[in-house]
Amino acid sequence: MNLDKNRVASKVWLITGCSTGFGRALAEAVLKQGDFLLATARKPEQLHALIKHYPETAKAIRLDVTASQDIQAAVDAAIATFGRIDVLVNNAGHGLIAALEEVSDDQIHQFFETNFFGALRLMRAVLPVMRQQGSGHIVNLSSTAGFVGFGGSSLYCGAKFALEGTSEALAREVESFGIRVTLIEPGAFRTDFNGRSLAAAEHSIDAYAGVSGASLQWFKKMDGQQTGNPTKAAQAIIQAVESPRPPMRLALGIDAMKLIQEKLEQVKTDLEAWQGVTVSTDYTDSSSEVIIGVAKL
């Protein structure tokens, strides 16, 4: 399977977690528009129905993002099959509703392995390819919870905040190589997130029943009633990738927009209210050059 040299606008995508949800919707969308796809999932047999409709432009492979050997095998397969990787989409992951006290060390480690370190390993594996090409786009599926902290979701927010910080810094590291980085921050979408993909505390604590317990019940109640449409989200992600000036962050859904706006207003309010204390901590002989230098980091 090789790229059609006459289709210079076609892109090669590597997407994780293609069996359901955002990953499946995006996989279908990129194939429908004529792009090439290395679709991955922990159970690649779940991708057969998708692949059989696009035998010339799609290939499925097993990928568990917690397994380093799977990650390198996926990157190698993309290069062997298509010759390049234009877009990496780190989508694989799941939710976790639990207060910080309610999770064990093992649950914390396992959660971060899937929801943060897996994406980190994939980026590290793909970056040499994109640098050599002189182009590429890394799309990381974050969440509104990657920008706004929610009670009862401290671990989930922690993993997504880590992904956001890494992505923002990475964007500056690789911009000169022609590589772009975009964070996707969805609100509530009608995927498996509220159902099969949502984990809970191993040992619940009664004191947090009104926080993590109430949050878990809300997520279960909302399952299947979320306002976000994954098919429309897929088109929005493609639009961002195809833009000559792609956004660093792309919020999806009116709920995401409102929550992020509220957070920005709160940050602004705190900065202004505590400005006197903030500037009082500098040496009196500090130079504005220091501030300028920090801004350029």
User: What is the spatial distance between Cα 228 and Cα 251, in angstroms, rounded to a whole number?
Assistant: 12
Instruction: Assess whether 167 carries a catalytic annotation.
Output: no
Q: Annotated catalytic residue: which of 11, 19, 54, 142? A: 142
Q: Annotated catalytic residue: which of 59, 153, 156, 167? A: 156
With residue 61 as reference, give the H or E element that holds it. strand 58-62
Count of C-beta atoms within a 10 Å radius of residue 266: 11
Q: Annotated catalytic residue: which of 19, 59, 153, 160? A: 160
Q: Which residues contact 122 (CB under 8 A, 6 or more apart)?
A: 16, 65, 71, 74, 75, 88, 90
Q: Find out whether 252 and 234 touch, Cβ atoms under 8 Å.
A: no
User: What is the spatial distance between Cα 267 and Cα 151, in angstroms, rounded to a whole number?
Assistant: 18
CA-wise closest residue to 99 among 202, 219, 195 = 202
In degrees and rounded to multiples of 5, residue 190 shows phi and psi of -80, 70
User: What is the spatial distance between Cα 160 and Cα 93, in angstroms, rounded to a whole number?
Assistant: 10
In degrees and rounded to multiples of 5, residue 183 shows phi and psi of -100, 130
Q: How many residues does the chain have?
A: 297
Instruction: Assess whether 208 carries a catalytic annotation.
Output: no
Q: Find out whether 163 and 140 touch, Cβ atoms under 8 Å.
A: yes
In degrees and rounded to multiples of 5, residue 15 shows phi and psi of -120, 130
Q: Find out whether 125 and 72 touch, Cβ atoms under 8 Å.
A: yes
Instruction: Assess whether 142 carries a catalytic annotation.
Output: yes
User: What is the spatial distance between Cα 275 and Cα 282, in angstroms, rounded to a whole number?
Assistant: 12
Catalytic residues: 142, 156, 160
